[in-house]
Amino acid sequence: MDALQRQVSCDLLYRHWTHGSRLDALPLDLLPASRAEAYQVQACIERHTSQPLYGWKIAATSIAGQKHIGVDGPLAGRILAERVIEDGGACTLGNNLMKVAEMEFAFRMAQDLPPRDTEYSQDDVMAAVASLHPAIEIPDSRYNEFETVGLPSLIADNACAHRFALGPAADNWRGVDLAAHKVRGLRNGAVAEEGQGSNVLGSPVIALTWLANELSRHGMTLKAGQVVTTGTCVKPLVIAAGDRVEGDFGGLGRVALFIT
């Protein structure tokens, strides 16, 4: 794909995102042929935001999630500042296809992690983190059957990114075993799902390290101030208009959204 094709492919997907509509598949001349090319398409979405990139999401961080969308590993997507909702705010469901809420550990970065020849270690990555937060992601897709379109199409479609809410920074989290840490997803005050950090690639720390190295491999920088949400650690909560969804991360805090 040349630069124009990449932009046209991204613009097509972004129009569907904006309008709440969907397509069956990208036209063949706008279909990325590889993971690397798909990230080049995805990168064009930054032309549709007037603000600095808010951060990154990781999709398919569990074996079940990977099987569900037919991929063999995680994928990264961009979080646009315009799509972020304040903790306790309202999220309009509209024509959302997935209709789920995901409870996630999120990290805000303190330092840049630029591309380099050697992989970042977990120690490297964690030394660059400023804070840990509870978070909720409300994903969506611009494809009618996102389960079957394949990895390049999913990455081009921003890895099913949609809306996102970040809770307050956790206190004294660095001594916590995040893999073993329990998380509850509540719907209208009742516990709907329970899980723990190990459901995210074995640990949210492993997931964050994967993201830093995935960006590095593809020539991108994980920047200071950006937020990385590491994938759902509980089974996604089915939601409908009128619901209040909340992530209870125990001593690490809580985060909530109203669904309208």
- Three-state DSSP at 77 gives strand
Question: What is residue 107's DSSP assignment?
Answer: E
The Cα 19–Cα 50 span in angstroms is 19
- Span 160-183, mean pLDDT? 98
Query: Any residues with CB less than 8 A from the CB of 117 and at least 6 apart, and which?
Result: none
pLDDT tens across 197-215, in order?
A: 999 999 999 999 999 999 9
- The model's confidence at residue 174, banded by pLDDT at 50, 70 and 90, is very high
> In terms of CATH, what superfamily is 3-259?
Fumarylacetoacetase-like, C-terminal domain (3.90.850.10)
So what's the pLDDT on residue 70? 87
So what's the pLDDT on residue 66? 87
- The model's confidence at residue 65, banded by pLDDT at 50, 70 and 90, is confident
User: Pick from 260, 208, 258: which is nearest to 233 by CA?
Assistant: 208
Q: Is the pLDDT of residue 25 over 90?
A: yes
Query: Any residues with CB less than 8 A from the CB of 15 and at least 6 apart, and which?
Result: 21
- The model's confidence at residue 72, banded by pLDDT at 50, 70 and 90, is confident
User: Pick from 193, 190, 208: which is nearest to 64 by CA?
Assistant: 193
Q: Is the pLDDT of residue 68 over 90?
A: no
Residue 27: CB atoms within 10 Å: 11
Q: Is the pLDDT of residue 161 over 90?
A: yes
So what's the pLDDT on residue 76? 98
User: Pick from 45, 43, 35, 32: which is nearest to 2 by CA?
Assistant: 32
Query: Any residues with CB less than 8 A from the CB of 118 and at least 6 apart, and which?
Result: none
- Span 116-132, mean pLDDT? 98
The Cα 159–Cα 141 span in angstroms is 8
- SS3 for 125-170 is HHHCEEEEEEEEEECCCCECCCCCCCHHHHHHCHHHCCEEEECCCC
**pLDDT exceeding 70 applies to what percent of the chain?**
100
Q: Is the pLDDT of residue 137 over 90?
A: yes
Q: Is the pLDDT of residue 63 over 90?
A: no
pTM for the model: 0.97
- Span 41-49, mean pLDDT? 97
Mean of pLDDT over the chain: 97
So what's the pLDDT on residue 158? 98
The Cα 217–Cα 115 span in angstroms is 7
Residue 146's identity, in one-letter code, is F
